[in-house]
């Protein structure tokens, strides 16, 4: 063979060997890349599972803040375990509380490898983080432990209104949007109907399945709550403190208030005849019994977990003589007339005839123009037989609930525990005999309209009451403390006197406390039936944001009208009509405060009355969609920091305006923070 051929053969063989080496090396690299891709996908899959588990755990635990951090942590750990990540080796679940309304969950777990294991790579840990936040409850009402004014202090600083609830037979166009029948005729609202279709019911109600099931009609507990719900109030008792919950003027007691500024505290607006003597005929079913039910609130954003602690029912009486300065009142005596105790469940009135006469008793009932304890009120303290028959306790005090009730000196108090505790008070307007008004039953589906129910006939089965009351949380000593708070939960009905017959004036009423966490968010403030005034002038209603310290500049931002969102035709307020359930977007209202120079185009203020048009929004909802400033904080050197005000501007008008107010965040109050 020629020498050159040998060189060629050796070169070819050499090339074949190099190809094999390169192929082998490339195969290893390709195999590693393929293994990395597959194992990376598996790692991503496991990481996604961990992320979902961390998010679920954070959301489940944050609802227990701020009152029960240990329970929140425990719930988060249990949720992670249910999702496949127990807090034991090789996993690690860490729960922390970055702020008082945030819960962070970090789940660390090994991610398996398959192909890369052939190359000597072992498992590696992956950590997933999620932070959930709850927006603190928007506290409706005035600052402190008192909500609503007494007869003595109505009109003084921060005491411009008292709480109101009305009977099922009353026209809802008089201001209570939720408690009366939703059927309201054309006559009650002038040229338009006030009927709510679909019906407006309380945010916490059996009809909406938001009331604890055990509290609804037919429940085994025997608690008296109407199907359409009642007004609910949130009570906060700080850690290592105790509190009693009291109600001012707890009974429905029509009379003659003897003063124009408080003329409806005792319902003397002609709905009830004047009692010149106790024998005067008054239809019994026009009256209303008042039920007050206290619940413990283990989970702030879940009513299903509420625990009933006690229910007190205060029976009605007529206070006409008391209002005239005579220590005498009248009531429908129970038959048989028996004494009562704290444990009584008899109900209010069981007369021997269908249309009984009233009995008159000398004296002043406990609770008239004074506060009554819901935990410790004892009818045996009354000095007359009637006093025994003005009270019933259908759900006895649950003294076994030692986590929430503590005893001292023979009395019981709400406990703040070691981390602070929330409680809920629900106020229901019952029938005159203390029975519930079951609006979902077949017997009531054809109930009369409010107008026909308000004729006062003996066959009318529904109360036409306007009950006024106030609430106060007190210490064991009976004194108030700024550490205790009482606020309406989501909605409230209030009455405020208006007297501007001498010319133009304006005033503001503390309406709700908005925490810093709402900065940059949108809230809806809805007002039902504003502007029930009379006279030769005008009336305006608006929402004012408070003075606050900017979170970005540190400078003080002055108090001013809140800003509303832009609608299709620019900034607007909306007339939602008679029902919150109407799916329409509402009719735009142009902001207007009647001033000169003109206010900002996005100001949250509207005209509600003038002499030519009368009341513009009788029996209707006015909605302010308010944009909270992005630099908003609830910090301020001014009085009542963080409190947004209800603004009244009036000119030559006078009246008492009953309105219902609802404040909501337009979104979920419990949510994950970005990046979770």
The percentage of residues in the chain with a pLDDT greater than 90, rounded to a whole number, is 29
Q: How far is it, in rounded angstroms, from Cα 594 to Cα 436?
A: 45
* pLDDT for 452: 37
Cβ contact 647:498 at 8 Å: no
pLDDT at 630 over 80: yes
Q: Which residues pair with 138 in a beta bridge?
A: none
pLDDT-derived band at 19, boundaries 50, 70, 90? low
E-strand ranges in 273-362 read 290-297, 307-314, 328-331, 359-362
Give the residue extent of every domain in the chain. 3-134, 146-184+195-494, 500-676
* pLDDT for 493: 96
Q: Which residues pair with 131 in a beta bridge?
A: 104
Q: How far is it, in rounded angstroms, from Cα 86 to Cα 227?
A: 42
In DSSP notation, 640-672 reads: STTEEEEEEEEEEEEEEEEEEEEEEESS-SEEE
Q: How far is it, in rounded angstroms, from Cα 241 to Cα 103?
A: 25
pLDDT-derived band at 621, boundaries 50, 70, 90? very high
597: left (phi over 0), alpha (psi -120 to 50) or beta: beta
Q: Express each pLDDT in 26-36 by its tens digit.
A: 766 666 666 66
Least confident of 50-54, 251-255, 545-549: 251-255
pLDDT at 64 over 80: yes
Region 653-659: mean pLDDT is 76
Cβ contact 313:344 at 8 Å: no
Q: Express each pLDDT in 408-418 by its tens digit.
A: 988 999 999 98
Region 248-258: mean pLDDT is 83
* pLDDT for 386: 57
Q: CA quadruple 497, 503, 509, 511: dihedral positive or negative?
A: positive
Q: How far is it, in rounded angstroms, from Cα 544 to Cα 590?
A: 17
Pairing of strands 124-134, 670-672: antiparallel
* pLDDT for 583: 59
* pLDDT for 531: 81
* Half-sphere exposure for 89 (CA within 13 Å, toward CB): 0
Q: Express each pLDDT in 86-107 by its tens digit.
A: 999 888 999 999 888 899 999 9
Cβ contact 271:259 at 8 Å: no
pLDDT-derived band at 226, boundaries 50, 70, 90? confident
Cβ contact 375:310 at 8 Å: yes
Q: Which residue has the higher pLDDT, 520 or 638?
A: 520
Q: How far is it, in rounded angstroms, from Cα 412 to Cα 415?
A: 9
Our measurement of the distance from residue 467's CA atom to the centroid of its chain's CA atoms, rounded to an integer in Å, reads: 20
Q: Who's near 271: CB < 8 A, 6+ residues apart?
A: 170, 254, 286, 454, 464, 465, 466
Cβ contact 425:293 at 8 Å: yes
pLDDT at 440 over 70: no
Give the phi and the psi of residue 304 in degrees, each rounded to 5.
Answer: -65, -25
Q: How far is it, in rounded angstroms, from Cα 161 to Cα 468?
A: 10
Where does residue 188 rank: exposed (0-12), middle (13-18), buried (19+ CB within 10 A)? buried
Q: How is residue 318 annotated by DSSP?
A: B
Least confident of 337-341, 460-464, 641-645: 337-341
Cβ contact 72:2 at 8 Å: no
- List the one residue out of 188, 254, 230 whose CA is nearest residue 464: 254
* pLDDT for 5: 56
E-strand ranges in 484-632 read 485-489, 491-499, 504-513, 522-528, 534-545, 548-549, 556-557, 560-561, 566-567, 570-571, 573-577, 587-589, 605-610, 614-615, 621-627
Q: How far is it, in rounded angstroms, from Cα 174 to Cα 169?
A: 12
pLDDT at 344 over 60: no
* pLDDT for 381: 63
Q: Who's near 113: CB < 8 A, 6+ residues apart?
A: 39, 42, 121, 122, 123, 124
* pLDDT for 309: 95
Instruction: List the alpha helices (DSSP H) in 358-508.
Output: 385-388, 450-453
pLDDT-derived band at 2, boundaries 50, 70, 90? low
Q: Who's near 589: CB < 8 A, 6+ residues apart?
A: 572, 573, 574, 575, 606, 622
pLDDT-derived band at 319, boundaries 50, 70, 90? confident
pLDDT at 469 over 90: yes
Length of the chain (residues)? 676
Angle at 605 between CA 466 and CA 143, to 5 degrees: 55
Looking up tokens 């090396």, which residue turns up?
25
pLDDT-derived band at 45, boundaries 50, 70, 90? confident
Tokens coding 54: 């961390």
CB atoms within 10 A of CB 108: 16
Which of 220-224, 345-349, 374-378 reaches the highest mean pLDDT? 374-378
Our measurement of the distance from residue 509's CA atom to the centroid of its chain's CA atoms, rounded to an integer in Å, reads: 19
Q: Which residues pair with 653 in a beta bridge?
A: 535
Q: How far is it, in rounded angstroms, from Cα 155 to Cα 262?
A: 10
* pLDDT for 52: 93
* SS3 category, 611: coil
Q: Express each pLDDT in 172-208 by its tens digit.
A: 888 999 998 887 665 556 556 778 888 888 999 888 8
Q: How far is it, in rounded angstroms, from Cα 127 to Cα 122?
A: 17
In DSSP notation, 98-122 reads: SSTTEEEEEEEEEEP-STGGGGT--
Angle at 206 between CA 200 and CA 133, to 5 degrees: 85
The percentage of residues in the chain with a pLDDT greater than 70, rounded to a whole number, is 74
Element (H, E) at 320: helix 320-323
Q: Express each pLDDT in 421-433 by its tens digit.
A: 999 999 999 988 8
If you average pLDDT over every residue of the chain, what do you get?
A: 79
Q: How far is it, in rounded angstroms, from Cα 625 to Cα 376?
A: 43
pLDDT-derived band at 362, boundaries 50, 70, 90? confident
Give the phi and the psi of residue 424 in degrees, each rounded to 5.
Answer: -125, 135
- Looking at the chain, the number of H-run helices and the number of E-run strands are 5, 35
């Amino acid at each position: 063979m020629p020498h050159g051929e040998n060189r060629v053969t050796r070169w070819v063989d050499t090339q074949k060997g190099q190809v094999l080496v390169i192929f082998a090396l490339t195969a290893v690299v390709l195999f590693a890349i393929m293994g990395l891709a597959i194992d990376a996908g598996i790692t991503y899959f496991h990481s996604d599972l961990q992320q979902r588990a961390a998010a679920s755990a954070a959301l489940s635990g944050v609802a227990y803040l701020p009152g029960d951090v240990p329970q929140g942590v425990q719930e988060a750990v249990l949720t992670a375990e249910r999702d496949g990540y127990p807090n034991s080796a090789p996993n690690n679940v860490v729960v922390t509380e970055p702020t008082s309304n945030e819960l962070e969950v970090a789940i660390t777990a090994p991610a398996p490898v398959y192909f890369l294991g052939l190359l000597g790579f072992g498992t590696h840990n992956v950590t997933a983080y999620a932070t959930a936040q709850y927006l603190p409850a928007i506290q409706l009402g005035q600052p402190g432990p008192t909500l609503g004014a007494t007869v003595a202090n109505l009109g003084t600083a921060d005491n411009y209104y008292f709480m109101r609830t009305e009977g099922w037979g009353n026209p809802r166009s008089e201001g209570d949007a939720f408690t009366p029948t939703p059927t309201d005729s054309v006559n009650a609202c002038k040229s338009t109907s006030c009927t709510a279709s679909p019906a407006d019911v309380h945010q916490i109600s059996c009809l909406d399945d938001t009331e604890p099931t055990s509290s609804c009609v037919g429940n085994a507990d025997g608690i008296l709550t109407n199907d359409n719900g009642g007004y609910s109030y949130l009570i906060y008792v700080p850690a290592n403190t105790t509190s009693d919950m009291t109600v001012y003027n707890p009974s429905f007691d029509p009379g003659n208030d003897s003063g124009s500024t408080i003329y409806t505290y005792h319902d003397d607006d002609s709905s009830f005849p004047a009692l010149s003597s106790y024998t005067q005929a008054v239809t019994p079913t026009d009256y209303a019994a008042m039920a007050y039910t206290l619940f413990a609130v283990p989970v702030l954003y879940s009513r299903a977990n509420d625990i009933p602690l006690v229910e007190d029912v205060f029976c009605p009486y007529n206070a006409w003589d008391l209002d005239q300065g005579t220590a005498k009142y009248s009531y429908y005596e129970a038959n048989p007339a028996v004494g009562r105790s704290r444990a009584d469940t008899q109900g209010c009135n069981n007369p021997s005839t269908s249309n009984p006469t009233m009995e008159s008793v000398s004296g002043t009932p406990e609770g008239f123009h004074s506060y009554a304890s819901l935990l410790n009120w004892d009818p045996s303290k009354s000095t007359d037989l009637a006093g025994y028959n003005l009270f019933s306790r259908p759900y006895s005090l649950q003294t076994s609930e030692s986590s929430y009730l503590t005893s001292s000196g023979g009395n019981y108090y709400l406990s703040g525990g070691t981390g602070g505790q929330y409680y809920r008070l629900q106020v229901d307007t019952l029938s005159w005999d203390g029975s519930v008004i079951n609006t979902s039953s077949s017997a009531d589906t054809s109930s009369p309209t409010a107008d026909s129910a308000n004729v006062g006939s003996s066959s009318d089965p529904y109360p036409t009451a306007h009950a006024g009351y106030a609430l106060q949380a007190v210490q064991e000593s009976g004194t108030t403390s700024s550490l205790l708070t009482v606020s309406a939960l989501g909605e409230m009905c209030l009455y405020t006197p208006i007297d501007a017959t001498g010319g133009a004036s304006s005033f503001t009423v503390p309406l709700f406390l908005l925490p810093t966490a709402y900065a940059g968010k949108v809230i809806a403030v809805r007002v039902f039936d504003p502007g029930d005034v009379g006279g030769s002038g005008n009336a305006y209603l608006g929402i004012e944001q408070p003075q606050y310290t900017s979170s970005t500049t540190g400078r003080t931002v002055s108090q001013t009208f809140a800003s509303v969102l832009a609608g299709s035709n620019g900034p607007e307020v909306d007339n939602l009509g008679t029902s919150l359930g109407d799916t329409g977007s509402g009719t735009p209202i142009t902001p207007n405060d009647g001033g000169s120079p003109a206010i900002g185009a996005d100001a949250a203020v509207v005209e509600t009355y003038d002499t030519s048009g009368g009341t513009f929004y009788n029996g209707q909802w006015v909605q302010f969609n308010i944009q909270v400033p992005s630099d908003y904080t609830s910090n301020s050197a001014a009085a009542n920091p963080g409190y947004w005000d209800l603004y009244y501007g009036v000119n030559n008008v006078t009246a008492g305006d009953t309105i219902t107010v609802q404040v909501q965040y337009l979104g979920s109050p419990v949510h994950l923070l970005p990046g979770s």
